[in-house]
A = this chain, B = another copy of it.
Amino acid sequence: MHSLLSTRARQQTTSAIRDLLEQAQRPGIISLAGGLPDPSLFPTDRLADIAAEVAGDADVLQYGLTAGQMGLREHIVATTTAASSTNEVLVTTGSQQALHLLSSVLIDPGDQVVVGDPDYLGALQAFRGSGAELVPVTIDADGLDVAALSSRITAGLRPTFVYVVPHFHNPTGVTLTDTRLTALLELAEQNGFLVVLDDPYRDLGVAGAADEPAHHANAVHLRSVSKVLAPGLRVGWMIGPEWLLEAVERTKQSADLHTSTISQAIAHAAISADWFPDHLAGLQAATREKRDALIGALVDRLGERLTVNRPGGGMFVWATFADGTDTNELLDAALDHNVAFVPGAAFAVAADARTSLRLSWATATPEQLTEAVGRLHAAHAALVSA
């Protein structure tokens, strides 16, 4: 019966992230692998009150608009500089669906899509699933190397779109500079491609939310409540030109008709509530505390053997061993020592990221982060001495 599967289905393999997360859920493990927000920071009491209110409303329980509930879209328009009309906003079942719908609507097999190297695995999978030819461009401390991209375009590269996580990038933690963003959007305008700005971490800056990229006819903005409210809601949204969103809406109609209206109503009530700015400030303070605990411990324990950056927010730090340690091998030792991370190779497209790793400070407490780094240090020592 397996022969009934489509070519696409037979080519699809389980995500490395997913297999890793399953291992990392073993009892006793401190996981720095996942991108799961800290559940102790969810505003559960507030959400329980909101949920009771919205679920008692028959209008919320009925079928809804494919593009999303008008109230939520109006709130988004009122609080963004990227959209001026609800026709430029479409609610998605999390950012992951936005990536899936954009892939379906923009990619013909063989189309070129520019991604960072390394980059977010969920995006790489979605683009590959539609048959895109991924064109990797280096990411450095200032984000995507736009000058290198420009040279490639001069040499004949014709991307359909360029994918960027502009703030506190997953996996590297870096932020695209304003200068590079401006240059990238100019390139897009001159060469007729889109720039997909996948921006779920923007509000998690340690010194407050990062600035929103302004409206641009070639930009598509992806946002989500997953990192600032609750990922289980599966509520994100796409801001972009109407010609694109009309096509995305037709595809979404067939994909899931619309996003859960209960989830949308809860998200809308929460992000427009008077307590939400304080909630965000709390997340930002926790982000600073956790980031400092993780990086402090890494510097203390692994010192010059490990090069570590210092992201301005988000969830992830990217680290590279100076001693040539292969992080795939280190992961086995780390799991033996009850600590987990994601090896850099999982995010690499063409780059050699064998000596790098991604560590997330999001889920654990500062104390657990310190303990986890101690275990990582022991795992590294065990591997080196083996």
Contacts and interface: CB of A to CB of B under 8 A. Distances in A.
Interface string A233-266: 1100000010110010011011111111111001
Nearest to A258: B234
A254 B9 contact: no
A47 B58 CA distance: 10
A1 to B, nearest CB: 6
Contact of A232 (B15, B251, B260): B260
Contact of A106 (B6, B231, B256): B6
Interface in A29-73: 34, 36-37, 39-40, 42, 44-45, 47-64, 66
A71 to B, nearest CB: 14
B255 A266 contact: no
A126 interface: yes
Contacts of A190: none
A237 to B, nearest CB: 14
Given A51-B52, A250-B14, A256 B57 contact: no
A91 to B, nearest CB: 12
A250 B1 contact: no
Given A39-B61, A93-B260, A100 B254 contact: yes
Contact of A247 (B5, B230, B251): B5
A61 B232 contact: yes
Contacts of A5: 105-106, 244, 247
A45 to B, nearest CB: 6
Most buried by B among A15, A49, A232: A232
A192 B4 contact: yes
Contact of A262 (B13, B45, B233, B255): B233
Q: Most B CB atoms within 10 A — which of A9, A15, A125, A261?
A: A9
Contacts of A6: 104-108, 111, 130
B39 A47 contact: no
A97 B234 contact: no
A62 B1 contact: no
A106 B262 CA distance: 31
How many protomers of this protein does the assembly include? Answer: 2
B261 A232 contact: yes
Contact of A192 (B1, B9, B263): B1
Given A12-B247, A243-B1, A255-B97, A58 B39 contact: yes
A49 B51 contact: no
Contacts of A321: none
Given A243-B2, A250-B13, A257 B94 contact: yes
A263 B263 CA distance: 7
Contact of A61 (B47, B52, B259): B47
A175 interface: no
Contacts of A266: 55, 262
B257 A234 contact: yes
A194 interface: yes
Contacts of A217: 1
A262 B9 contact: no
Given A1-B217, A49-B52, A262-B262, 15 more contacts: A3-B192, A8-B104, A9-B104, A14-B250, A37-B62, A42-B62, A44-B56, A44-B61, A50-B55, A51-B51, A52-B55, A61-B230, A61-B233, A62-B231, A260-B262
Identify the 8 closest CB pairs spanning chains A and B, nearest first. Answer: A232-B261, A51-B55, A48-B56, A52-B52, A61-B230, A51-B51, A39-B58, A260-B260
